[in-house]
Structure 1
């Protein structure tokens, strides 16, 4: 596999380097470093941590040294390196803030204190507290972003050595890293760190899935050989032919990146195409476009997979051209094209602002001002009415890439990837969003859940008297749109929410043989710091609060005992008209755990569809037929039929083994139908009875991991709709 020599961060730093080794790393990029300051911090940190041990049994001070070494890979200034060496002294030793000020100055003391305060934030607590912790995190970032750089390096080294922790602590730290620190690193433009944090967390959170990906890679390499050098040579030959000077590097994508793509696109590994990525480093911006032209002349580009972040940079300074082409043997490969300076920002992200080269602060025209970046990032959060809205803003903002769409007048509207016309409407004005009844994209009428793409022109169709629908919550992706929709629904539809909440509460209370009386609800309101029992019902009905949580608040012991009760199919869906029984639409076969909506039909009960079912497009013009539905919370009976489409090798015993795998997951096979028989492969539809989406996911993972399973997909057929 071709390595990107000199471009990737160094491999994990040696935990046992001494002061001279660390100074050597700093001098590589900053010959004018204050050696006395760093050596003094090294000796002070070692003295303060003397006698302390890590979980591995090593001296504790090896950890701060390793964190400092990681930061030298980003060529950071002396103050940041010293902060890394001292980042645990105030918290874990007899050192004090005033002593650090006296020895190392107020700048370093403030940085160390900032890292200490971040360390004390419990970012994986319950949602409401997590939201407040995010506020504190962003406040710390706003004072000096270097605090976050040290904390990210601290988390990276802890994840590299996480195997020495207790298993439950490993899972908690890995999930926190996946939820918070990895996307934060990505948002700051430090993609290499995001990928490593994700993969280290993936190793802990889902080791079976990661091992499955690696096994598939080994099998693929055994069958096709190492294709990266071959494709690299192909690209270099094309560039030589066109007289373009550039360096080409290739790599296989990280296991977590591949796993996420499999989940997002619901694809088996064998159906993934662009599992290899290539990077072309050109001399000038003009050369980047010449490289693009040469590649597109040689290979066919894949529609919808082109992004020009040079002409439309990301807010963190990222610039690059992305394209996917059908290369050697029809394999799709992703190619990123950028200049050397663009690449330095792509690797360091916002941290490029502090990078040094040859003893002076590196001048990179593409590096963003951290203060301006933070101002742009936090601007959207100021209007959040409560902690949960703020948290939703932050998470969406950190995870999102961007698309740029145009109004009919040609104004640019910047939205996160995956945004819909609903998000577009609310980004223009709340009033436009509230009155939206439809949209045209590039002149064609489209459903409101359509995912917008770069460069599209969007026209919002409005009507007087229109108000937001409850289903828009699931269609919208931006925090601004979701918050505006929720506010409107709370104001306009409070009565309907109270009615739905009363039904949800009735069912939840009956499960513990209690009644959802006004007195009980008022008591719950006091315990939850809400103004009335009616407010409790309104929040339950708007999905801001779980009815089971209210029951648990009043009757914790009973709720715990009844928690294992299985929910019967007749009680599986909540929100139905009185006396009605729901029917599951066979086109999408929604199961508990998935978002659902009901469509009414004359003379029979509502039909339950998954919110992303394509069949719903035909009802877009009939909003009066849509009703809000929810699955009853709890453990459902394994009676929900789902069809999967599986292709397996045509060899003795394989079908029996697949059936055994399904049975081992406590799923029942209700029917099995062969739809294609070939000499080497069979394709068949298998009807399974499962409890919920998580149960289905476990069954499909177990089957897909089998080496003789070529493809496995959930089967959806619009011809089977009502």
Structure 2
């Protein structure tokens, strides 16, 4: 068939939904591309122009607008023929040139080169999608045709392209609701990566289908009879299971091939939403529905806009899966965001909602991109959002929120707004107080309780599941860590300068600049922050500021020199945040003599002065930071107590009561048996300071059964 005939076949297809003027513009783009690619061949031996034409055919089947089709024709022109973007803009307009440029940039992406490059390129893709979502639609069609014609490529390149398709492009097609393209990409990727497994499964499916033909026809006949009997419109289709999904169910759900295939799947397509629910009633009267297997995606659409009723029935000794939807829902299910253009002239509620969802998703990606420190962190967040298995929960006002399975109230809070997530302190689930770390279930109503000045807890990172929550928490913690390291670094530097008889305010700008340059940092704040993080010694920086940057003093620091560092002590106010931590080994509490050690990259660790983990020699001890407690500490601190007692009935309850009477709080209690008469109880108690601890210990000592009590230091 000649190329002209083929372009005319495309024109005939386009005439069903585009006017002749727009079809001519697409034709013109085709002839321009044909001329530009003259003499170029594909690896298969075909003329190169057959590829852009095939991509345009795929987009025409999705009924995309004329500009997307023109971009499909021209998508390799900038990259392969050296024609600049400006020349295309002059010929075909700015919009088409922008689309072609966007697709060309995506075509240069090689996701598998290195993790860093992969992530960088994914950011480029996000930007392109944010500017115009059609860029990704043209790219998906381009990838689909490349996958269909992957045969002549060398083995390594086939593997790389197939992996990239399964990792990035198929999930994006799924996220945009384009089921037909997604499943074809998955199946082609699967058969390229695992040709033998693919061949084995497809043979087994064909064999099984032959033996099950009678049952399928029987079920279809009964369903048609029931619909006719009730006067309900609807066409019934058998649903094929896709190779990749069969393989994944066998691999990840540990199901046998026959377990997966012993389910008969049908789709009933009808006229209106109302008919969908009537047909549901009709099929439930024909066969018994399986409890817990009904899903109403019409009332609560999936995140990618998918709508349908799903039910599983038990009849004729087999399970029957049925999906019920309207024609429009069928288009949306197969074509997703592309259906937006299909219905552009008469937009419906479904396509508008679908468009809004995609816009929100892309906007969310852009927010994550701004927050992520590096591109690897960004792609880690995005991959979470590309594989959602959704649950649906409600806000107190009845708005539906889609979240990935396993999401928690913290994910929900961030999904509403970043500020709500950051200020979240508690939640109510179905009006009852719930834990922030519990997993949400579909249908729950979640209310978030916020408090002014509240900040995200680092522990949240261990249970949140959405990329948005994770990136927002990390962003706030990084800023908090920076602020705390600056504050601690400044305190330590001022203390060291005091030892030299100097003040920070007395040191001139020129001297500070010299010290900054000498230490090879961007700014004085970075230098101070490094001191707070424990990456630099405050004493050395103070010495440089006082005596000149060239004098590091590294070679001749003696214990006597370092002791000048001890003239001031840093005040500790309790639980300070991310960069001041209390050592677990000696668990110091207010009133204990304490010292601090700098832990590289992590800040200040506070130890009790008598802690066995501290160094013994004078020189190393001179490096310790002298600390003192503030007077008005209201925080609670953990202390471990060892109580030896005679074993009697009710003695543990008496022990707990004694701690409570002294206003203490038991965090953990552990009973060890010594012999039949004596026992040892290990207690972790929360107290406010040494005086409070003395009160708790006095109460415990007054119990008759207690023979000995002491505080565990290490």
TM-score (norm 1): 0.60
The correspondence for 2:360, drawn from 350, 360, 376, is: 376
Higher relative contact order (CA 8 A, sep 6+): 1
- 8 Å contact kept, 2:56–2:72: yes
Q: Which moved more, 1:372-381 or 1:338-347?
A: 372-381
Q: Residues 300-320 of structure 1: CA distance to partner in whole angstroms, max 9, x if unpaired?
A: 333333332222234544322
1:67, distance to aligned residue in structure 2 (A): 0.7
1:31, distance to aligned residue in structure 2 (A): 5.1
Distance in 1 (alpha carbons) for counterparts of 2:427 and 2:252: 25
Is 1:341 aligned to residue 332 of structure 2? no
Distance in 2 (alpha carbons) for counterparts of 1:475 and 1:160: 41
Give the corresponding residue for 1:298: 286
- 8 Å contact kept, 1:441–1:458: yes
Give the corresponding residue for 2:24: 36
Give the corresponding residue for 2:654: none
Change (3 A) 1:241 1:109: same
Q: How does 1:1-40 map to 2 (within 5 A)?
A: 18-30=6-18, 32-40=20-28
Distance in 1 (alpha carbons) for counterparts of 2:667 and 2:145: 53
Give the corresponding residue for 1:505: none
The correspondence for 2:404, drawn from 391, 416, 422, is: 416
Distance in 2 (alpha carbons) for counterparts of 1:429 and 1:624: 37
Is 1:256 aligned to residue 244 of structure 2? yes
- 8 Å contact kept, 1:448–1:475: no
Q: Which moved more, 1:38-47 or 1:53-62?
A: 38-47
1:376, distance to aligned residue in structure 2 (A): 0.8
Change (3 A) 1:446 1:291: farther
- 8 Å contact kept, 2:264–2:319: no
What SS does the aligned partner of 1:163 have?
A: coil
Aligned residues: 506
What SS does the aligned partner of 1:326 have?
A: strand
Is 1:199 aligned to residue 183 of structure 2? no
Give the corresponding residue for 2:222: 234
The correspondence for 1:132, drawn from 85, 104, 120, is: 120
Give the corresponding residue for 1:321: 309
Distance in 1 (alpha carbons) for counterparts of 2:407 and 2:256: 25
- 8 Å contact kept, 1:159–1:201: yes
1:478, distance to aligned residue in structure 2 (A): 0.9
1:461, distance to aligned residue in structure 2 (A): 10
Distance in 1 (alpha carbons) for counterparts of 2:194 and 2:278: 42
Distance in 1 (alpha carbons) for counterparts of 2:427 and 2:36: 64
- 8 Å contact kept, 2:55–2:138: yes
- 8 Å contact kept, 2:42–2:48: yes
The correspondence for 1:161, drawn from 149, 157, 174, is: 149
Q: How does 1:262-661 map to 2 (within 5 A)?
A: 262-272=250-260, 275-333=263-321, 335-355=322-342, 361=345, 363-368=347-352, 372-384=356-368, 385-386=371-372, 387-388=374-375, 389-406=377-394, 412-421=400-409, 423-424=411-412, 427=415, 452-457=440-445, 473=461, 475-483=463-471
- 8 Å contact kept, 1:189–1:350: yes
- 8 Å contact kept, 1:273–1:331: no
Is 1:101 aligned to residue 85 of structure 2? no
The correspondence for 1:119, drawn from 88, 107, 112, is: 107
Distance in 2 (alpha carbons) for counterparts of 1:148 and 1:478: 23
1:229, distance to aligned residue in structure 2 (A): 3.2
Distance in 1 (alpha carbons) for counterparts of 2:100 and 2:111: 19
Q: Residues 486-512 of structure 1: CA distance to partner in whole angstroms, max 9, x if unpaired?
A: 568879999xxxxxxxxxxxxxxxxxx
- 8 Å contact kept, 1:420–1:450: yes
- 8 Å contact kept, 1:285–1:338: yes
Change (3 A) 1:290 1:18: same
Distance in 1 (alpha carbons) for counterparts of 2:31 and 2:294: 52
Change (3 A) 1:144 1:383: closer
**Which protein is bigger by CA-based radius of gyration?**
2
- 8 Å contact kept, 1:252–1:276: no
Gaps of 5+ in 1: 1-12, 495-524, 539-576, 579-621, 626-722
Distance in 1 (alpha carbons) for counterparts of 2:196 and 2:44: 25
The correspondence for 1:75, drawn from 39, 51, 63, is: 63
1:429, distance to aligned residue in structure 2 (A): 7.7
What SS does the aligned partner of 2:365 have?
A: coil
Distance in 2 (alpha carbons) for counterparts of 1:399 and 1:623: 39
What SS does the aligned partner of 2:164 have?
A: helix
Aligned-CA RMSD value: 4.6
Give the corresponding residue for 2:650: none
